[in-house]
Amino acid sequence: MSLATYIGSNVELPINDELDDIVTIGSCFSDEMHRLNIKKHHFTTSYVYEVSSDWGIEITEYMNKSRLKESKEKLLALCQLMDHYLKSGDFFELYSCWIGEEAEEREGELTLNINYFDIDAIKMPEKTLVRIEK
């Protein structure tokens, strides 16, 4: 199984928009049905994409240090990328889960400010809906 991370936005994003090869907006593990389930069960936004990489974004104390560091880098890069697309007052949503678990109940919620959060203080396990506001 693969851990996928989805992004929801009210702004249409270009597919394959790469930022330093850390994250790409486009399909990696998911298909259209997976993204429709995320939109139906978790997101409030108009557009849903997968954040492509070799693994989803998950930040917990139980991860190995290499994967944890990579997830933090991906989240920071994604926020930097989305900062260019969002206006003040806009937001985007982020959700990570195992492929096939998109319709399952979420286990947590988190709200962050796109420019003001401590990456080392965040706990973002799978099945957590993260709203990132500008």
Cα–Cα distance between 29 and 113 in angstroms, integer?
Answer: 28
Tens digits of residue pLDDT in 63-103: 999 999 999 999 999 999 899 999 999 999 999 999 999 99
Band of pLDDT at residue 18, cut at 50, 70 and 90: low
**90 vs 7, 14, 75, 80, 109, CA distance in Å?**
14, 18, 17, 14, 18
* pLDDT tens-digit series, residues 24-67: 787 777 889 999 999 999 999 999 999 877 788 999 999 999 99
Of the candidates 83, 74, 93, 73, the residue with the CA atom closest to the CA atom of residue 134:
83
Longest dimension (CA), the chain: 37
CA quadruple 56, 79, 77, 22: dihedral sign: positive
The structure's pTM equals: 0.92
The helix/strand/coil state of 68 is helix
